[in-house]
Amino acid sequence: MKGLYVHIPFCEHICHYCDFVKRVPKNQEMIDTYLHALRLEIESYRDHFESIETIYIGGGTPSMLSTLQLEYLLEGLKDIKPVEYTIEVNPESYTDDKGIIFKQYGINRISLGVQTFDQKLLEYLNRKHTKAQVVHAVNHLKSLGIGKISIDLIYAIPGQTIEQLDVDLKAIEALDITHVSCYSLILEEKTYFYHQYLRGKFEQMDEDTEATMYQKVMDDLKRQGFHHYEISNYAKKGHVSLHNLIYWTLGDYIGVGLGAHGFIRGIRTYNHHSLPKYLENPMERNEIQDQTMMLQDELIFGLRKMEGVSLKMIRDKYHIDVLKHYPKLLEKMELGLIEIEDDHLKLTAKGIFLGNQVFMVFI
């Protein structure tokens, strides 16, 4: 598979935890200028159009674009016929007209930025939507025939209780969606929360409570019929994220837009993070990945999947024995963090909670 990632860096407001490439636009003209440059960059990859099987429009907040801006962007992608076509949506910027545009242009999967259904926690995160807006967006999308809907959920928010998480999980069940991406709140640099932390005004949740919440998420989503297929991702049968699987299996993907990166035939591409520089020339640099880098990524991303990494694939592709090449893995095996099952190296039930300790072996 080959994927295409399209980055829309604009937001109407900045969430307190977000460290993605984003900015609040000065005016509509700034967005229009960016979209024109983005269309030109997309067109520069026309030779790849026939082989692209997934498109993912992310951000930022793609759904904050006006209907005219959305149509202009999607016109630039209309000659691509992907199997999976995803756009990220914030509930407060979703409108019925935008949903109709998504349907007209063949978008068949929506990633809805919910994070939590608790209004006080939403305000703490600086999210601007309500539960009612989430319910409306999901119901309207389903009425249009767009049934592949994923929701982003955050847990381990400072001050959050197990009971509040339980309410969130019940709300997900009531929506009857097909996919959930669920992450613990991570303190990232260059965010409002990080600045608060430096001032002693942000306290992360303790590890034991975070682990309890993670276990609850896994257990409850399994009860709801979701398959836990990657550390942070859960899907109903037949609804895994094909685009994200490209990342986790070191497949080829093109990245277009401000700050986007791609990976094509062993070369990683990196676009400028500065808007003026991007408008002048999108790509900042590209780097050829040697075998050591490829192997490192193969193992780190592969172990994020619950099925783990095929040792046969590693032997055939890299001509090594993983346990001999990384002898410290034996220590992690003795600690009960990893195991070999059906010739796949994978995290154990214990290792899922301590994956970073395993990943550090490869760095």
Q: Which residues, other chains included, contact 152 with Cβ-Cβ below 8 Å and sequence gap of 6+? A: 111, 112, 113, 114, 115, 181, 182, 183
- Report pLDDT for 234: 98
Nearest in space to 64 (alpha carbons), one of 96, 88, 38: 88
Exposed, middle or buried, 359 (CB in 10 Å: 0-12/13-18/19+)? middle
Token digits for 105? 């242009």
SS3 content of the chain, % helix, strand, coil (to 5): 45, 20, 35
11: tokens are: 């937001």
Yes or no: say if 230 and 304 are a contact pair by the CB < 8 Å rule: yes
Q: Strands, DSSP E only, in the chain?
A: 2-8, 54-59, 84-89, 109-115, 148-155, 179-184, 227-230, 233-235, 252-256, 261-264, 267-271, 283-288, 309-310, 338-341, 344-347
Q: Identify the helix (H) or strand (E) that includes residue 322.
A: helix 322-325
Read off the amino acid at residue 164: Q
pLDDT of residue 75: 98
2-246 belongs to CATH 3.30.300.30: no
pLDDT along the chain (363 residues), means of 10: 96 89 92 98 97 97 98 98 98 98 98 97 95 98 98 97 98 98 92 90 92 97 98 98 96 98 96 97 96 95 96 95 95 97 96 95 93
* Torsion sign, CA atoms 155, 160, 162, 168: negative
> Listing from the earlier edge strand, what are the strands of the sheet with 344-347?
309-310, 344-347, 338-341
Residues ≥6 apart with Cβ < 8 Å to 58: 5, 6, 7, 8, 88, 111
Condensed to tens digits (0 to 9), the pLDDT of residues 247-290 reads: 999 999 999 999 999 999 999 999 999 999 999 999 999 999 99
The first and second tokens of residue 21, run together, are: 């490439």
For residue 304 the two structure tokens come to: 């994020």
| Domain chopping of the chain, boundaries | 2-246, 307-363
Name the helix (H) or strand (E) containing 193.
helix 192-198
Give the separation between CA 354 and CA 89, rounded to whole angstroms. 31
Q: Compute the CA torsion angle 173, 179, 185, 191 (nearest 10 deg).
A: -130
φ, ψ of residue 285 to 5 degrees: the values are -165, 165
CA angle 332, 333, 335 (to 5 degrees): 65
Residues 328-333: contacts with CB within 8 Å, 24+ apart? 328/361, 329/358, 329/361, 332/357, 332/358, 332/361
How distant is the alpha carbon of residue 237 from its chain centre? 19
Q: Which two tokens stand for residue 187?
A: 């303190």
Task: Return the pLDDT at 23.
Answer: 87
Q: Exposed (0-12), middle (13-18) or buried (19+): which is 123, by Cβ within 10 Å?
A: exposed
How confident is the model at residue 217, as a pLDDT?
98
> What's the pLDDT score for residue 20?
86
- Global confidence as pTM: 0.95
